[in-house]
Amino acid sequence: MLAPLPRLIIEPAVRRALEEDLGLAGDITANAVIPADHRSTVVMAARREGAIAGLDAAALAFALIDPEIRMARHVGDGEKVAAGAAIATVTGPSRALLTGERTALNFLGHLSGIATVTRGIVDAVTGTGASIVCTRKTTPGLRALEKYAVKAGGGGNHRFSLADAVLIKDNHIAIAGDIRTAILRAKENAGHMVKIEVEVDTLDQLEQAMDVGVDAVLLDNMTPETLRRAVAIVSGRAVTEASGGITPETAGAVAEAGVDLISIGWLTHSAPVLDIGLDYRNAGD
């Protein structure tokens, strides 16, 4: 079951977005055109098929503008919807609804877009035993929300921050001098609870890493055939993670090579927004 993000994680991002949109004078259009006592009912609906994520952020965007606004959800985060499907019905003061509309839809559309592309690539590797995970290639300030959206799409999360685990990459190795030295230094300085992963570009590097011993290996930009050989070399001694240029078209072959994880940065940095609109239905009660 998908656990919701705590409000204390969501609220700072939503408040910043609202402050950015309101500027110094607030919504001068709604305040000029809409009577102060007018109430409305609007429906948020998907313009195309996709997986939903970000309902809490959308609801909070409205509530922070006016706590009288009520949002009735017709689906939950993680659910797939068809084009035209109603996602939620929102009722309250018309000015506030229009003021919060863009911020609510920005969060809902962006996070649902991430959930949608994640769901697509998770489906592409179903039955292989490989799991799809995201990376730290996230929008500054929105990492927790975007990683939540990946989980809503059926994926998993890699590191949330640099403090979560040791991940020795090519530049670390280059500066340290060689892969063995880098791993030994990590083992000497990391705490006993800290996992160590190392990125390798070749099978020779992989052999060196396995000789020293690590918890996980990131197999970077390898062909499916090379990945199969890498998985055989590791032989269950470490978690195997494939990364680098993986697309929905190639993910199946990568997964069938036997890796445990496939990490994909574009899930969060390049997912297209799921088109979701807000439609006026009638005056509120």
Catalytic residues: 102, 137, 169, 199, 220
CA 149 to chain centre: 4
Residue 161 carries which DSSP code? S
Which residues lie closer than 8 Å to 206 by C-beta, 6 or more apart? 200, 217, 219, 230, 233, 234
Question: Which letter, b or e, does each residue of 151-173 get, where b requires 16 or more Cβ atoms within 10 Å of its Cβ?
Answer: bbbbbebbbeeeeebbbbeeebb
Helix (H) or strand (E) holding 152: helix 143-152
Other beta carbons less than 10 A from residue 122's beta carbon = 20
Instruction: Find where tokens 């592309």 sit.
Output: 117
> Cβ(162)–Cβ(142) under 8 Å?
no
What letter would DSSP give residue 156? Answer: B
Amino acid (one-letter) located at 82: A
CA dist., res. 146 & res. 152, Å (int)? 10
**How far is 54 from 38, CA to CA, in rounded Å?**
27
Q: What is the CA radius of gyration of the chain?
A: 23
Which 3 state secondary structure label does DSSP give 282? strand
